[in-house]
Chain A
Amino acid sequence: MPEMTKQRPKHLALHQIRLPLAGYASILHRVSGAGLFMMLPVLIWLLQLSLGSTQQNVETFNAVTGNWLAKLILLGLIWAFLHHFCMGIRILLIDIHVGVEKEQAHSSAVAVMVVSLVLTAIFGLKLLGAY
């Protein structure tokens, strides 16, 4: 019986695995959370600068938030926060048995991706000074 002699450990070919959209949304929940954790000291530092009253605080804050690379990183963090926020609400709803069915779960995953990207565009344009 060849099936009884499976090779262990099993190595999965990640590039061959096809996930439903909810699977990607779920992985992005983890990726966004990890990104937010890694950038947490930078965000606390920006909070400190925004609430500090010395002239140096003001200048440093303006220099950092005016830098294009910093803006790009902040844009990524805005998306990470919004995706994590929307996905978190989806998880809470599924916990209370809302949207557990396959079609609803797929629709809510689409909604999470779309809403977080649209909100990122809205906040991102504000960050870039478009309005």
Chain B
Amino acid sequence: MKRLVVGAGYGLKDWLAQRITGVVMAVFTLVIFAAALSGAMASREAWQAFMSNGFIRFISFLFIVSLCWHAWVGVRDIWMDYLNSAALRLFLHVITLLALVGYAGWAIQIIWRL
């Protein structure tokens, strides 16, 4: 007997998004770690020069977008798992989403005005 799987259909997309954004952040972390080992955090000037580099600004942007997307999926799952009230869940989903969009704008602005 064929079983009809019903649902909103966002499960696979979110699962995949969580993996892709995770890999982006992991790679970025290793780049930053390697840079720190070669002196990018040795002084304030070195750190600012490093973060001003065009390629670093490009991947920093990808990191910030990945982080906020990843946090959205993860935190939303926590609300979905533990809250029974649909009204409270909707409220916290909206708050979480607004906070993350704001954080993304704030962090990108820090990186890109260098």
Contacts and interface: CB of A to CB of B under 8 A. Distances in A.
Interface string B100-114: 000100110011001
A53 B19 contact: no
B14 to A, nearest CB: 14
B26 A37 contact: no
B71 interface: yes
A89 B19 CA distance: 10
Contact of A92 (B23, B44, B47): B23
B71 A37 contact: yes
Contact of B110 (A30, A40, A44, A58): A44
Given A92-B19, A92-B22, A95-B19, A47 B107 contact: yes
For chain B, which range describes its interface: under 10, 10 to 19, 20 to 34, or 35 or more residues?
10 to 19
A37 B19 CA distance: 18
Main secondary structure, interface of A, reads helix
Interface string B46-59: 01100100000000
B107 to A, nearest CB: 5
B104 to A, nearest CB: 10
A50 B75 contact: no
For chain A, which range describes its interface: under 10, 10 to 19, 20 to 34, or 35 or more residues?
20 to 34
B74 interface: yes
Nearest to A9: B84
A41 B103 contact: yes
Interface of B: 19, 22-23, 26, 29, 44, 47-48, 51, 71, 74-75, 78, 103, 106-107, 110-111, 114
**Considering the complex of A and B, which 7 residue pairs feature the smallest CB-CB distances, nearest first?**
A48-B110, A44-B107, A33-B74, A88-B22, A37-B71, A37-B75, A44-B106
Interface of A: 30, 33-34, 36-37, 40-41, 44, 47-48, 50-51, 53, 58, 85, 88-89, 91-92, 95
